[in-house]
Amino acid sequence: MDEKQLKERLQQLQLQEFKLSQTAWHALLPFMLRHIGSPDAQLRDDLIYTAFVQCIYRQRVLSAQDLRSILQPVLDEKHMFFHMGEKEGDAVFTRAFSVLLLPLLLAVHRDQPYLTYQELEQVKQALFSFLAQEKDLRGFVPGKGWAHTVAHAADALDELALCKETEQTDLLGMLLLIRTTICNSVQVYTHGEDERLGTAVLSIISRAMLSVQQVREWIASFAEPVLEIKELPDSLCVRANARNFLQSLYFRLRWINLATPYETVFDHSLRTISRYGD
């Protein structure tokens, strides 16, 4: 089934609210995975991703083996790591919408566990590697719709953080990964990526597995990677990303009455990275 045929089929199913039998989904899933990175925004986002939301999360018609049959290709070099390292190009859509399937798969696992510890470890390692290697940080691409690799990976981190199998060391690793992702000097995040990463941090803190001191030390640790970048405009870019993220995170913690233990360290970190902190 080519893209045109798949689009026509999914448009028909959309009118029927994607109500399909398990057998019918089996026949459709390989083509949805094959064309998940289509540069056609309507096919990629409105139809293929929406169909995945229906069959994986909302309808829950797929078996554990079915879900694994989606997960394994998602993690491979034809999907999450397709042409990894490119800074521009249409391959980003395959990477971005493959990683966006992880939150759906993990959300189902949290409700009805079906993944082994080894499989969850595989997801974690792939997700960490994805954020470490991804170079295309575009949000909305004119004419082609959302890429949003960082935001989609942030959603996956959020779900992974809430999995009961995720341990303290994993949560600390996530915080370090989030700090590295925020403190990039290449591009200022303007499409909500910092907010989505902040949501993952709130989930990490909500697990109550990290001490206040560990979180405080992490907040304080933003100053070093920011201040070590001296060249313009890179230094302005990394300052903006760190400042926007820390300010947003502080107020989100404040709105749920969790900011008090961290107020001093937020103040110190923001003053340190600000050009006007003196």
Structural domain contains residue 79:
yes
* Number of structural domains found in the chain: 1
What percent of the chain is modeled with pLDDT above 70?
99
Structural domain contains residue 206:
no
Taking the model in full, what pTM does it have?
A: 0.95
Structural domain contains residue 196:
no
Range of the domain at 45: 3-166
pLDDT by residue (tens digit) across 58-116?
999 999 999 999 999 999 999 999 999 999 999 999 999 999 999 999 999 999 999 99
Burial 219-233 (b: 16+ CB within 10 A, else e): bbbbbebbeebeeee
Structural domain contains residue 135:
yes
Structural domain contains residue 106:
yes
Q: Where are the alpha helices (DSSP H) in 77-167?
A: 91-99, 101-111, 117-133, 149-162
pLDDT-derived band at 158, boundaries 50, 70, 90:
very high
The pLDDT value recorded for residue 109 is 98
Structural domain contains residue 252:
no
Structural domain contains residue 70:
yes
Q: Where are the alpha helices (DSSP H) in 139-262?
A: 149-162, 168-182, 193-206, 212-220, 223-227, 234-255
CA 151 to chain centre: 5
Structural domain contains residue 225:
no
pLDDT-derived band at 277, boundaries 50, 70, 90:
low
pLDDT-derived band at 276, boundaries 50, 70, 90:
confident
